[in-house]
Structure 1
Amino acid sequence: MPEPTQLLKSDRLNEFSTLELAQALMERLAISSNDWHRLKSNRKARASEQVAAALVLLLKDNPEEALLRLNQASGWLDRSISAPPCPTHGHNGDRQ
């Protein structure tokens, strides 16, 4: 039998729609600008971010965009994509 605290958590989760829960997960997994340099090449973090976004898009009835995000997540996991250089450290048009 579930613990009383587990029942309370479950009851609280039922207050939210599936879309609201997915959006909360997406917000939790999104890489903030403060963490960008630290996590830009973290494959698990990048894939998690993309999968959560795909779930939200799917729940919003946008399967094409969801599939693009899932493909991005797959690319992070299978190492077929990597992080682009940071735009603030990239090449300046004035320098050669």
Structure 2
Amino acid sequence: MNALTIDSQDWHRLKGNRRARALEQTAAALVYLLKDQPEEALLRLEQATGWLDRSIKAPPCPSHGHHEVAPD
């Protein structure tokens, strides 16, 4: 699973790569199945399916998200 996980260095390059994202989620699903956590596995498989059928897209970059201003 670690080999298929998209790390922060590769996130920008692979964020929209549907194959890479589906592989990442499918690997996670297999790990959860091996840990006897079928609900978590199903969530990851649904994410993988979403990448493949184009029903989901990459979220905005975590480092470029909206920053809240602290109240005075």
Judge same fold: TM > 0.5, yes or no. yes
Query: Whose radius of gyration is greater, 1 or 2?
Result: 1
Identity of paired residues, percent? 74
Structure 1 stretches lacking a partner, 5+ long:
1-25
**2:67 paired with 1:67:** no
Distance 1:52 1:90 in 2: 27
- Which structure ranks higher in relative contact order (CA pairs < 8 Å, sequence separation ≥ 6)? 2
Aligned partner of 2:66 in structure 1 is 91
Distance in structure 2 (CA, Å) of the matches to 1:61 and 1:39: 29
Residue 41 of structure 2: SS of its match in structure 1? helix
TM-score, scaled relative to structure 2: 0.89
What's the TM-score once normalised by structure 1's chain length? 0.68
For the aligned residue pairs, the C-alpha RMSD in angstroms reads 1.0
